Structure 1
Amino acid sequence: MTALTKYTRLEATGLWRPTTEGQRKEVIVSIGKATLTISDLNEQAITHWSLAALARANPGERPAIYHPDGDPSETLELPADETEMIDAVETLRRAVARARPRPGRLRWLGMAASFAAVAAVLVFWLPGAMRDNTLRVVPQVKRVAIGDALLARMERVTGPACTDPLGTSALRRLGTRLGTPKLAVLPGLSRPALHLPGGVIALDRAVLEDYEEPDVAAGYILSEVARRANQDPLDSLLQVAGPWENFRLLTTGDLAPAVLDDYAEHLMKTPPPPADTSQLLALFETAQLRSTPFARARDITGETTLDLIEADPMLGRQTEPLLDDGTWLRLQNICGG
């Protein structure tokens, strides 16, 4: 104990009483390593009191009266003129009190740490774990229903999906050719294409009407396929909707209509992340399609899409037309010209 060093040779006289009924006796008081030693006038030790278990009966008063903690019947009275000894004892008592473990504080610290750990689990681990579980258990039929509901909400802004019969037949042929049978064309979509839960890929009419060949539209479709391969569209929805709606979908199988409204708006306003180039080129190769027309449509200079031009999997190779001219014209008129 650091505070003890300066008091190890300190002595004082006092009055000691062994019991409440006992006679007070003049004694010599000295401070040891961890004890207060009480001796008679012949310097024969009478008793030792532990500094760690020393209590004061009259805090702040003089003479100072001390007793072993829990036994107020045995007392030691230090006269008011023994100022140095009283101050030394008080200093040591405070030092012992500071060093003593505080179960209450430790308990509160333990509770706070426990709450912090639980909060960390709820904030950082639980939402991701719950989302992963939701993605595993939500059936395809529910994904389709969610995708259809989102498409219906977008139609309120874009106008109804184009349904010219001849154009719709041509759209089905394009979807079959690319392995993406669920296609929809919207007259006023705010971006060239987007994908929805359930497998639907929506196209803006401009990707059909503004280009001379269907390879450009095919490129936008395959870009959505590449993005969909990197992140489940239902996962994207749940990340935006938040943990409560995730829990709602997991437990009831439904999402709040307002959440679907907000997410439909989010999709139309948020630029899509870039599709992985290597994945996209692999999709062009599988479909036996040129990537250059799509790259030029995105950037006529080719500066920002040079990788799609230089690595065109069909470069220098003869390819079959994606659609015949008649089918392509019908597709371009799916929204009625």
Structure 2
Amino acid sequence: MTALTEYERLEAAGSWREGPGERLREVIVSVGDATLILTDPKSDTPLSHWSLPAVIRLNPGESPALFAPQADGAGDDEVLEIDDAVMVDAIERVHRAIESRRAHPGRLRGGLTLLAVVAMLAVAILWVPGALVRHAARIAPPAQSLQIGKMALADVMRSTGLACAHGQGPLVTDHLARRVLGEGATIVVLPADLNGARQLPGRIFAVGQDSLAGSASTESLAGELLAAGIVAGETDPVYGALDYAGFRPVMSLLTGGDLPAGSLDGYGQILLSQPVQRAADSSLLSAFTEVGISSVPYARRLDPSGEATLGLIEADPFRTTNPPAPLLSDEQWQALTQICETS
């Protein structure tokens, strides 16, 4: 590094995340001999060493700069944030100097280096944002998922109207959520037709008033909720919301713990425009058995003729025996069907 002695003693403050789920901590960043050294400012204890040739910048041209040690494939685990323009310029100049030294031996090697740089840029542009979104969805704690779910629900209600809450209806939805979905789940009834239940992040289950009308019953509603939970287990609603929000809001979520206001504007309309996915019969039948209800009311609700849902009808877990006690009493079901009344 003799050609870059002006940077050998350069130091600056930075913020470092050691791994998934870890909080950002303050560090001192210094340029060593082809390495970045991250040191605890309180104890002067070295915390990490990064090879400069392997370091990439996650957000070129933006401030503060975000760097990751990509050479070992773990770049979405460690992240370094630097706001010092001199240090950022030093890192990039040292990195360019190292790469240029490797490129001198000949044109072929220079061409290969150029291709490698282009490939790295392509990875940074195409792969890193998606990887960070997947990582953020994977490590999101329940409280963070619930915050995202509430933001998604608020945007959905811009199209449907506010959630229904008439009379004793909310008490019934709380009881039904615990009975069918378990602790931590929430059922929200919206004054619109949704053609089935949808699970939002944070285990928020949205159903429309059409799920309580016509031939609907407690069992058919429970079937819609169980189906939504099965589909969500395969698609991950947290990832869907964060993928819509995009790279910058997700980085804000990772570094600050909150998704910026407005990140999900328009997401609700997209959710409502998508048809409700149908869960596999085998998974549904297992869920019906565990909850203790017949699958026939839900199957007939999907297709009154029964032709498209014959598997659910013929394999009804309570076809020859009576199911346990009903999920709701007649009075509770009546209160639930009136939850969207305005007077």
TM range, normalised to the smaller chain?
Answer: 0.5 to 0.7
State whether structure 2 residue 332 is matched by structure 1 residue 327: yes
Q: Does the Cα contact within 8 Å between 1:166 and 1:330 map onto a contact in 2?
A: yes
Alignment of 1:50-69 (within 5 A): none
**Residue 109 (structure 1) aligned with residue 114 (structure 2):** no
Give the Cα separation in 1 of the matches to 2:214 and 2:162: 20
SS in 2 for 1:165: coil
The normalised TM-score by structure 1 is: 0.64
Cα distance in 2 for partners of 1:208, 1:198 equals 23
Residue type of the partner of 2:171? S
User: How far apart are 1:306 and its partner, in Å?
Assistant: 1.8
The AA in structure 1 aligned to 2:327 is L
How far the C-alpha of 1:171 sits from its partner, in A, is 1.6
Q: Who wins on radius of gyration, i.e. which is larger?
A: 1
Which of 219, 228, 241 is matched with 2:223 structurally?
219
What does the per-residue CA deviation read over 1:241-260, in whole Å, with 9 as the maximum and x for residues that have no partner? 33333323222333344431
Q: Which moved more, 1:277-286 or 1:238-247?
A: 238-247
Query: Quick check: 244-253 or 327-336, which moved more?
Result: 244-253
Distance 1:274 1:118 in 2: 40
Q: For the residues of structure 2 that align with 1:137 and 1:238, how far apart are their CA atoms?
A: 12
> Distance in 2 between the 1:312 and 1:220 partners?
16
* Cross-structure match for 1:318: 322
> Amino acid of the residue matched to residue 333 of structure 1?
Q
User: Contact between 1:138 and 1:250, CA under 8 Å: does it hold in 2?
Assistant: no
State the TM-score, normalizing by the size of structure 2. Answer: 0.63
Aligned to 2:204: 200
**1:144 CA drift (Å):** 1.1
Question: Are 2:313 and 1:309 equivalent residues in the alignment?
Answer: yes
Residues 93-149 of structure 1 deviation map (CA, whole Å, 9 limit, x = unaligned)? xxxxxxxxx965314421232123313433554244323331243322121112112
2:143 pairs with one of 141, 144, 158: 141
CA distance 1:116–1:279, change in 2 (3 Å): farther
- Structure 1: unaligned runs, 5 residues or longer: 1-101
2:289 corresponds to which of 285, 289, 297 = 285
Would you say 1:232 and 2:231 are equivalent positions? no
1:249 is aligned to 253
Question: Take 1:164 and 1:239, find their aligned partners in 2: how far apart are those partners?
Answer: 35
Match of 1:129, SS state, is helix
Gaps of 5+ in 2: 1-103
Kept in 2: contact 1:215–1:294 (CA 8 A): yes
Q: Residue 192 of structure 2 is aligned with which of 188, 191, 194?
A: 188
Task: In structure 2, give the amino acid aligned to 1:205.
Answer: Q
Structural RMSD (CA): 2.2
Work out the CA distance in 1 between the residues paired with 2:319 and 2:308. 19
Give the counterpart letter for 2:247 in structure 1. Answer: P
Q: Which residue identity lines up with residue 287 of structure 1 in the other structure?
A: V
Distance between the aligned counterparts of 1:269 and 1:256, measured in 2?
Answer: 24
Matches of 1:137 and 1:179, distance apart in 2? 22
For residues 195 and 229 of structure 1, the distance between their equivalents in structure 2, rounded to whole angstroms, comes to 10
Counterpart AA for 1:316: T
- Number of corresponding residues: 236
1:157-216: CA deviations, max 9, x gaps? 211111113111222221122134411100114442211111110110111122252111
Tell me the amino acid that sits aligned with residue 193 of structure 1.
A
Which amino acid counterpart does residue 187 of structure 1 have in structure 2? P
Superposition deviation, residue 309 in structure 1: 1.5
Match of 1:118 in 2: 120
